[in-house]
Amino acid sequence: GAFFQNLLDEGIQIITHWTDQWLTAMDVATPIHSLIIDGVFTGVGSVLSFVPIVVVLYLFLSLLEDSGYMARVAFFMDKLLRRVGLSGRSIVPMLVGFGCSVPAIMATRTLSSERDRRMTILLTPFMSCSAKLPIYTMLVGAFFPRKYQALAMVGLYLFGVLCGVLYAWILKRTKFRGEPVPFVMELPNYRLPSAKSVGHLIWEKAKGFLQKAFTVIFLASIIIWFLQTFDARLNV
């Protein structure tokens, strides 16, 4: 998704530049100008920049699911995940969490058990999503020599998984005592993925991401702009 993300970022920057020039030519008040450019366009751009990655992620997950393989992944992982208090169904949201935590947490709706659903939601952010990659890059570049940077990057991803396993072990013995629900699932036959069903699933997931994430991130961008622009007496 990196190519499409960069292409989308360039498009947003061009539109932002044109809008900035038009607002300047119209001599719009500085606070309104700043709100549109630094608040609205920044919020929209921050949300849309994740869409290509989410779409590509769901493309491959949809292919796995429609081919009948994803159900077998949950079946094979059930025995391992039960040792930390989860069922095999939790593996799908946790895999999605490596792409983006927002649709991953939304995917926990498919879990039938309230206990498993809440526990999976708490563990999913330990999976390193793409939004954490710039932070990892900064830390690796600052504290590790070049020849060890790739190893350190992989280590940070594995460290997140290990922390999630440890946290699951603690939750199993404290907040979420008991056993996960029995794993009962009909394994579908292997088949070639259908373009129609894959496209429908991608559309539904991307639309759900925009509807859920857009409002929160957009409003947060406006609030951050307001706090950066005005003081306690509402002076610029």
**Mean pLDDT in the chain?**
81
pLDDT in tens, 127-139: 888 778 778 888 8
174 secondary structure, DSSP code: T
**124 vs 50 pLDDT, higher one:** 124
**Distance (Å, rounded) from C-alpha 129 to C-alpha 228?**
28
Most confident of 63-67, 150-154, 205-209: 150-154
Residue 115 tokens read as 């206990």
**How far is residue 124's CA from residue 215's CA, in Å, rounded to a whole number?**
21
Vertex 27: Cα angle to 21 and 30 (nearest 5): 90
> Which H or E run includes 34?
helix 30-34
Question: Mean pLDDT over residues 74-90, rounded?
Answer: 79
CA nearest neighbour of 42 among 223, 233, 234: 223
Q: Inform me whether the pLDDT recorded for 63 exceeds 70.
A: yes
pTM over 0.85: no
Exposed/middle/buried for 81, CB within 10 Å: 0-12, 13-18, 19+? buried
Residue 152 has pLDDT above 70, yes or no: yes
- Residue 1 identity: G
